[in-house]
A and B are shown apart, each in its own frame.
Chain A
Amino acid sequence: MSKDFKTWIRSFVDIRPGEGRIAALLFAYYLLVIFAYYILKPVARALFLDKFDADKLPYLYILMALLGGGGASWIAASAMRERLTSVIGKSQIFLVGNILLIWWLLRYQSGVVLYIFSLWVGTFSVITVGQFWLLTNNLLDARTARRLFPLVGVAAVIGGTLGGTITSVLVRYIETRHLMLVCGSLVALTGVVVRVLRQYEEPDKRHVIEREEKHRTRDDLSLVWESAHLRTISLLVGIMFIVDTLVDYQFSVVAKQTYSGPQLTGFLARFQGIYLNLLSFCLQLFLTRPVLRLFGVGGALGFAPAGVALAGAALFIYPSLWAASVMRAVEAASRYTFTRTGMEMLYLPVARAVKNRTKVFLEVFVDRFSRGTAGGLLLLCTVVLHFNVRGITVLTLCFVAAWALVVTFVLRSYVGTLRKSLERRELYPESVTVQPWDTASARLLVESLSSPNERQVAYALQLLEQTPQVPISKCLPSLLKHSSPQVRAATFRLLASRRDAVAISEAMTAIHDPDEQIRAKSVNYICQCDSNPESRLESFLKQPDVAVRRAALDAVEQDSFVRRLRVISSSWIDDLVSGASATRETRALAARALTFADSASVPVQQYLESLIRDSDPVVANAAISSAGNLRKQELIPLLVQNLAKRSTRAEARDALVAFGPQLVPELAACLGNSAEPDSAREQIARILGRIGTREAADVLVRYLLDSSLRVRFRILKALSRIRRAHPHLQLPGDVIDQQLVNEARHYYELLLAIEADTNANTAGRKLLIRSLEQRLDQTLERIFHLLGLRYPPEDIFDAYRAIRNPQSQRRAAALEFLDNTLGQPAKRMILPILEDSSCEYLEPVGKELFGLEAGTCEDCLRQLINGQDRWLRVLAVYRASELQIASLEPFVRAAQSDSDPVVAETGAEAARRMHLAA
């Protein structure tokens, strides 16, 4: 195979070593799914048209709009509970059962069964195609999936062609309904493929759905309504689906007039499976990119209405199957190719989250509404007005004219929105899956390079990295001399991504630039343009200038280079660490470089141990970061020690998180070790929260009851984090319930303490009451964290926010929600706190629940002085001296010798005051 041909093939599908088998299995899976679907689709439509006249089709469209497309959410929900391959296996058995049942029922030629069958085919495609994509996303990372995407397109074409061919051939020899059995066999075969794919699935992996907020259709509608651009897109999609339904109707009517029985099935199978599929494939492969490049978004979006208008005119003049087929083929094929590509470009100025919500709105609401509307229109035109095919064609042409008009509107709004978005730096190229960009968008990007706003120029340069076909050579001289370092760095970055060697001499000067980003990007650019980037990089690392070495290391960290560099030898490190010109900067550089040293020839661990212990936090942090990158097990104890140091805590935490779930047993031992300082245990709880596995959650729950207030709060926050990420994770209810009781009791105790001190409002009292009220707030927060571990976390968090906002009108709704959600014991303890914070109301509740009695001020202060809360002890000692309570003097004196210096200092001061007063 010639190199050019290989390159051409690779531009469509890039299968890397080791991916062949899984790619082949996924290819076979999708092929079988589409194969089966293209048997079912013509069979369902042919049986329907055979039984009924075409005038019943509008009813089917309306029913499809009302009931069609269910099943996707069921798959996603099931896949979160068990392994995805198991869910798919079970649903395949279910689908085969359905197929057999429908095959058996079809022998009775009942009209109801034919309606149900037609609706069921829609659900079949949603379930099987949806499952395929879920499994692909589960088995492959996003980048690999994207590379293999064209392969899936080929599988669809082959599957569709096979479906059409087999159906059109077999229908001559067997009864149409028996094709269902072929389809059932294919679904069973997909089961075998999925079974083989199971080996690539991680055993404990559940399908994780990208977290999306719950949105109601009304919210989505207002989202679309508020943006002129999204409104026009919705209108365009609406008209497009109406035309699609009208064209499908005309095609079905003419097909029914021409064929019947097996001939109709054969024709529909050949048309949908073979001709339409191949036409779409060829258009996508050979025409979509050139049309987009030459005519822009307008050309891509205008192709379909122009094609349908021409074919519609032909159908009007000469109503025939040939004209109807051309119209249907042009309409459907251009929708799958040109229109889809053009629509993707329209989302360029739309954030991904908004795009996703808009797409859901279009699929769920606009699609169904339009098809239902088209069904209603057809009923009106055929049943009431008695239109024939020509009449419906005129109606279709009217909608096509409206479609073309909306395309011009949408183009105008697109260019306007794109320009504004560029100015605001709010383009979202990651949400656009088509390449290349159209000419108008690319021209706007190049124009932005002359903007006086340097951030906009840098932003445009960043976007241009994704559009390699747009030339920028004319702007280069001014960009490389731009006053902004950010722009100059972005220019080198862009040139590096294109491997365009036009500015090598400028880059050689820029490696000594004062700006470190420019130095790093120019080094990377020079390396990327070299025939051997790694060796060129090593030459920079050997340079005596430390700034150049640092730039080279920045380039290694930020850009794509091999992860082991031979040049980083022991002598190289020694020179930086203990050479004549060693400084904190050189030691830090050595620490960072150890990430890329070859541990077979360099004693990386020893160097890291020594550098982590460096007295300079910059050096220690660089070494800690390298330890995290290398995941050196032996360094874990040293990293844990650094959790207690303020200057290295954050880096040590990140480094330990990098070790991942394997670290959980070690962290569990540290969390359970009471000799570890609380500051370190708090950090360990945070790390476990970030690791976020079931085992990490178990460890956190294990130490929930036995920890100090500070650590307990961190544990709860970590557990809440895990639970928000995995809402279906079940945690030990008894431990959480027990802690809930403890916290609720603590809340009532604090309330009684506040009410007990009714003496003069001195400075000490104000401080004490303010601190107790703060403790109430903190306790309530912990209570809600605990509730979030037992009940849906997002709902509990919403309720907490509503309750914390005194002006919130949602407070009553939140109380109502909690009343209906919480179990009886939790409800009895917590609802009274939320409903009424007055002591008159809560005192009897506290007595009933926990046997708590309101005590005197003296009792309360005594309890606080003897309690665990260090700050409340300080304040209680101070307050006792303020009130001169003689009975508390022994406790105040005892506080003088407390191990806590602040308690001891306050105790001494309080004792002095009490003594003076005496």
Chain B
Amino acid sequence: MKNDFQISARQMSVIEKVLLLQDVDLFSQVSPEQLARIALLAEELHVGRGKVLLRENEISDAMYIIASGKVALESGSECLSVAGEKEAIGTWALLDNEPMLATATVMEDARVLRIERDDFYDLLSDHADITQSMFRALIRRIRTLVDK
């Protein structure tokens, strides 16, 4: 699927990627320096309108963070939501091997950051502090859900 997309001619700098990544829920507890390490893995792609980033019931091996543009999330023929700038899709694909629950289709030409799962796990194996920060974010999210 990645081959359907264009790699940007001018890539975002590490700092710009960090600024984008810090708004992703999963990385909310990760420090800027750790985000810079993740940023080094993140590949910037230009995706044209109508292209599919993730397909329902298929297993994905990456997550995407939208730098610009809009992406529709659909299940069957129903539109669940529209994701915009600084929003992440396929976050859980980074952590498990389960099929996607929705199809993500680009509505407006988009610039996205793609983080592949294998690269990400390689990074985690070297930086336990990133794993700890992500655990903190996940636990915080679970607590919020439990409190609700």
Residues of A within 8 A of B (CB): 646, 649-650, 763-764, 767, 770-771, 774, 871, 874-875, 878, 902, 905-906, 909
Closest Cβ–Cβ distance, residue A394 to chain B (whole Å): 61
| A875-B15, A909-B13, A909-B15 known; A646 vs B122 contact (CB < 8 Å) | yes
5 contacts between A and B (CB under 8 A): A767-B19, A871-B33, A874-B14, A875-B15, A909-B13
The 6 A-B pairs of least Cβ separation, nearest first, read A871-B33, A909-B13, A771-B32, A774-B31, A878-B15, A767-B32
Q: How many residues of B contact A (CB 8 A)?
A: 14
Look across to chain A and name the residue whose beta carbon is closest to the beta carbon of B19. Answer: A763
| Bound Cα distance from A763 to B14, whole angstroms | 14
| Bound Cα distance from A280 to B48, whole angstroms | 90
Closest Cβ–Cβ distance, residue A774 to chain B (whole Å): 5
Q: Is B130 an interface residue (CB 8 A)?
A: no
| Bound Cα distance from A630 to B31, whole angstroms | 42
Chain B, 24-48, CB within 8 A of any chain A CB: 31-33, 36, 40
Across the interface, do B36 and A871 meet the contact criterion of CB distance under 8 Å?
yes
Given the complex, which residues of B lie within 8 Å of A650, measured CB to CB?
125
| A646-B122, A646-B125, A646-B126 known; A764 vs B15 contact (CB < 8 Å) | yes
Look across to chain B and name the residue whose beta carbon is closest to the beta carbon of A775. Answer: B33
| Bound Cα distance from A882 to B33, whole angstroms | 19
Across the interface, do B14 and A905 meet the contact criterion of CB distance under 8 Å?
yes
Checking A649, A767, A774, A905 against B18 with a beta-carbon cut-off of 8 angstroms, the contacting residue is: A767
Closest Cβ–Cβ distance, residue B101 to chain A (whole Å): 31
Closest Cβ–Cβ distance, residue B110 to chain A (whole Å): 21
Checking A646, A649, A763, A771 against B33 with a beta-carbon cut-off of 8 angstroms, the contacting residue is: A771
Closest Cβ–Cβ distance, residue A806 to chain B (whole Å): 16
Given the complex, which residues of A lie within 8 Å of B18, measured CB to CB?
767
Given the complex, which residues of B lie within 8 Å of A767, measured CB to CB?
15, 18-19, 22, 32
Given the complex, which residues of B lie within 8 Å of A902, measured CB to CB?
14, 36, 40
Checking A649, A770, A905 against B32 with a beta-carbon cut-off of 8 angstroms, the contacting residue is: A770
Closest Cβ–Cβ distance, residue B136 to chain A (whole Å): 14
Given the complex, which residues of B lie within 8 Å of A906, measured CB to CB?
13-15
Look across to chain A and name the residue whose beta carbon is closest to the beta carbon of B12. Answer: A909
Among B13, B14, B15, B33, the one with the most A-chain Cβ atoms within 10 Å of its Cβ is B15
Given the complex, which residues of B lie within 8 Å of A875, measured CB to CB?
15, 32
| Bound Cα distance from A607 to B33, whole angstroms | 42
Given the complex, which residues of A lie within 8 Å of B15, measured CB to CB?
764, 767, 874-875, 878, 906, 909
Closest Cβ–Cβ distance, residue B130 to chain A (whole Å): 13
| Bound Cα distance from A28 to B66, whole angstroms | 80
| Bound Cα distance from A351 to B131, whole angstroms | 31
Look across to chain B and name the residue whose beta carbon is closest to the beta carbon of A646. Answer: B126
Checking B13, B31, B125 against A771 with a beta-carbon cut-off of 8 angstroms, the contacting residue is: B31
Look across to chain B and name the residue whose beta carbon is closest to the beta carbon of A774. Answer: B31
| Bound Cα distance from A654 to B97, whole angstroms | 30
Given the complex, which residues of B lie within 8 Å of A763, measured CB to CB?
19
Closest Cβ–Cβ distance, residue B1 to chain A (whole Å): 27
Checking A646, A770, A878, A909 against B31 with a beta-carbon cut-off of 8 angstroms, the contacting residue is: A770
| A646-B125, A763-B19, A767-B19 known; A774 vs B32 contact (CB < 8 Å) | yes
Across the interface, do B33 and A905 meet the contact criterion of CB distance under 8 Å?
no
Chain B, 76-101, CB within 8 A of any chain A CB: none
| Bound Cα distance from A906 to B33, whole angstroms | 14
Given the complex, which residues of B lie within 8 Å of A878, measured CB to CB?
15
Given the complex, which residues of B lie within 8 Å of A770, measured CB to CB?
31-32
Among A649, A902, A905, the one with the most B-chain Cβ atoms within 10 Å of its Cβ is A902
Across the interface, do B13 and A905 meet the contact criterion of CB distance under 8 Å?
yes
Look across to chain A and name the residue whose beta carbon is closest to the beta carbon of B33. Answer: A871
Across the interface, do B32 and A871 meet the contact criterion of CB distance under 8 Å?
yes
Closest Cβ–Cβ distance, residue B119 to chain A (whole Å): 11
Look across to chain B and name the residue whose beta carbon is closest to the beta carbon of A912. Answer: B13
| Bound Cα distance from A649 to B128, whole angstroms | 14
Closest Cβ–Cβ distance, residue B15 to chain A (whole Å): 5
| Bound Cα distance from A761 to B15, whole angstroms | 16
| Bound Cα distance from A874 to B37, whole angstroms | 13
| Bound Cα distance from A905 to B10, whole angstroms | 12
Closest Cβ–Cβ distance, residue B121 to chain A (whole Å): 11
Given the complex, which residues of B lie within 8 Å of A774, measured CB to CB?
31-33
| Bound Cα distance from A767 to B125, whole angstroms | 25
Closest Cβ–Cβ distance, residue B36 to chain A (whole Å): 6
Closest Cβ–Cβ distance, residue A560 to chain B (whole Å): 34
Look across to chain A and name the residue whose beta carbon is closest to the beta carbon of B14. Answer: A902
| Bound Cα distance from A905 to B11, whole angstroms | 11
| Bound Cα distance from A871 to B36, whole angstroms | 9
| Bound Cα distance from A906 to B16, whole angstroms | 10
Given the complex, which residues of A lie within 8 Å of B14, measured CB to CB?
874, 902, 905-906
| Bound Cα distance from A874 to B40, whole angstroms | 14
Look across to chain B and name the residue whose beta carbon is closest to the beta carbon of A869. Answer: B33
Look across to chain A and name the residue whose beta carbon is closest to the beta carbon of B22. Answer: A767
| Bound Cα distance from A878 to B19, whole angstroms | 12
Given the complex, which residues of A lie within 8 Å of B122, measured CB to CB?
646
| Bound Cα distance from A649 to B36, whole angstroms | 22
Q: Mark B115-133, 1 if CB is under 8 A from A, else 0.
A: 0000000100110000000
Given the complex, which residues of A lie within 8 Å of B125, measured CB to CB?
646, 650
Closest Cβ–Cβ distance, residue A640 to chain B (whole Å): 18
| Bound Cα distance from A906 to B39, whole angstroms | 13
| Bound Cα distance from A874 to B15, whole angstroms | 8
Given the complex, which residues of A lie within 8 Å of B19, measured CB to CB?
763, 767
